[in-house]
Structure 1
Amino acid sequence: MDKLAPTEQQRDIGATLQVQARIDPQQAAERCRDFLCAQLKASGQQALVLGISGGVDSTVAGRLAQLAVEKARQKGHQATFVAMRLPYGEQKDEADAQRALQFIEPDEALSTDIKPASDAMLDALEAGGLMFRDAAHRDFVLGNIKARQRMIAQYAVAGARRGLVVGTDQAAEALMGFFTKYGDGACDVAPLTGLSKRQVRAVGAALGAPGELVDKVPTADLESLSPMKTDEEAFGVSYAEIDDFLEGKPVSERAYRIIVSTYSNTTNKRNLPITPV
């Protein structure tokens, strides 16, 4: 299949999302660790908090957070990393989440089941008159509620421990708007910003993360009617094509069209609240 040469629009989007065509994974890991350490000290806070799902993004961000607090402690700053498990009932890939925790070796691990709170919110909305087009529409809205309940829990812990919430957003998800605004898109520090998905995997490998987590097929797993639905199925385009786009490489015309359209249609998710002045 013929591929399109990189366009000015493609290069502009990559620059806006702070993507570099090439990285040194070890140097990138150290830069992200040092960023977290510096932000923790500058903020006057004493903890980093992050939900661990078992995917590569939270695995990498979690290990970086643990290394950051260890470095902060070496410099005399009180610092703790709190890893959180936030399943909706029983998580199908719980074994991966536990494997991630074993690799990360967090100072502390907490677990909160978000199912009761998520279901109660949806029930209350429906009792108040909210109606949905169909079961799929209801399931989609519930998925966003789940994402926001997870962030409620993380900020509650951060508030109790004088902490900062760590985000896992990377450039591929930012490009596709593949996050819930004020859900998994909410955080205080985002160490993976500017990394494509393959670059996050490379950083994970450099950190020594288990191969099965580094190479795991990504899934947000927010839709109960479509459990473990892959990100790429939701995108309609592969991460390889998304990463090529971000890194300024040629992509197919179909991929280019989907990516640019999706980026444009999700602009509001990447913006701060709009004000009149």
Structure 2
Amino acid sequence: MRLLQAKIIADLHVQPVINAKDEIDRTIAFLKNYLIANPQYKSYVLAISGGQDSTLTGKLARIAINQLRQETGNDQYEFIAVRQPYGEQADEEDAQTALKFVAPDQTITTNIKEATDALTKTLRVSGLAADDMSRGSIKPKMRMIAQYAVAREHDGVVLGTDHAAEAFAGFFTKYGDGGTDLDPLWRLDKSQGQQMLKALNAPESLYNKVPSADLEDKRPQLPDEVALGVKYKDIDKYLEGREVSEEAAKQIEKLYLTTKHKRHLPVTIYDTWWY
């Protein structure tokens, strides 16, 4: 095994093999224990996009909330799904399929188009380009603002969907989808998440779907693998300690080394990891 590969695996706590049922139970226990330890909170809030990661996180949160109600007799616990399209979402059917599978207590829609467009206009008036890449960064930040507004009004905790096959590359937006309270999937790679969804009897269309952050207007539904420059199957093999091609390994390691700042926020004068 490559030296850096071993370090990355250790940093992200990826297991070479999982038992899907055990990881489901482990994650549900984590979600339940957090609310029990922090009684000021009564709900979990999560944006449901229709992709694998939010579907899995949502289902696990839904089960945790159900169990908490039964075990405590407290019906104030709830799971809230947030739909956050920019205008009309191209894969809205997938989002609705995910919602049906997850079955949240309530669904709140916060369309981010008007807010995103308004901020873009303001930035341009100020002399900034506010190009497609900038807008791609603004969208998840707008979504997170709305999620925390929902959480504040429902004594909630905001859940994230970050997992090892994204975390290694900082494949999230700072203070956007990366700005959450809990990341229940952190430690799992993409194929391990798929195993868990299969064990939960999720619709195949949701975990076989081509992953896409869908943030750029000029490149809608851009596959994650294109953006990353490496396939998830190679990322998963690498994170599980197996051999991959030299080309794939170098790209994975390059992404890891150049995105350290995204896995450690914020940096203070006492931090030495960056030099």
Same fold (TM over 0.5): yes
Q: Which runs of 5+ in 2 are unaligned?
A: 271-275
For the residues of structure 1 that align with 2:114 and 2:126, how far apart are their CA atoms?
Answer: 18
For the residues of structure 2 that align with 1:128 and 1:41, how far apart are their CA atoms?
Answer: 47
Name the count of aligned residue pairs: 267
Letter in 2 for 1:12: K
| 1:164 equivalent among 150, 153, 157 | 157
Aligned counterpart, 1:135: none
Aligned positions of 1:95-174 closer than 5 A: 95-131=93-129, 138-174=131-167
| 2:189 equivalent among 183, 192, 196 | 196
TM-score normalised by structure 2 residue count: 0.95
Letter in 2 for 1:93: D
Letter in 1 for 2:14: V
Aligned counterpart, 1:3: none
Residue identity (%): 48
Partner secondary structure for residue 168 of structure 2: helix
For the residues of structure 2 that align with 1:72 and 1:41, how far apart are their CA atoms?
Answer: 9
Q: Does 1:229 align with 2:222?
A: yes
For the residues of structure 2 that align with 1:227 and 1:183, how far apart are their CA atoms?
Answer: 19
Aligned counterpart, 1:245: 238
Deviation at 1:8, TM superposition (A): 2.1
Deviation at 1:29, TM superposition (A): 0.8
Aligned counterpart, 2:36: 41
Partner secondary structure for residue 110 of structure 1: strand
For the residues of structure 1 that align with 2:32 and 2:144, how far apart are their CA atoms?
Answer: 22
Supply the RMSD in Å over aligned alpha carbons: 0.9
Letter in 1 for 2:200: L
Aligned counterpart, 2:60: 64
Runs of at least 4 residues off by over 3 Å: none
Partner secondary structure for residue 167 of structure 1: coil
Aligned counterpart, 2:9: 14
Provide Cα deviations, 1:5-48, integer angstroms capped at 9, x if missing partner. Answer: x2121011011001000100011111111111111121220000
For the residues of structure 2 that align with 1:186 and 1:204, how far apart are their CA atoms?
Answer: 24
TM-score normalised by structure 1 residue count: 0.95
Which of structures 1 and 2 has the larger relative contact order (alpha carbons within 8 angstroms, sep 6+)? 1
Partner secondary structure for residue 107 of structure 2: strand
For the residues of structure 2 that align with 1:272 and 1:226, how far apart are their CA atoms?
Answer: 29
For the residues of structure 1 that align with 2:31 and 2:123, how far apart are their CA atoms?
Answer: 38
For the residues of structure 2 that align with 1:43 and 1:119, how far apart are their CA atoms?
Answer: 37
Aligned counterpart, 1:178: 171
For the residues of structure 2 that align with 1:142 and 1:220, how far apart are their CA atoms?
Answer: 13
Provide Cα deviations, 1:202-239, integer angstroms capped at 9, x if missing partner. Answer: 11111111001011110000001000000001111100
Letter in 2 for 1:16: D
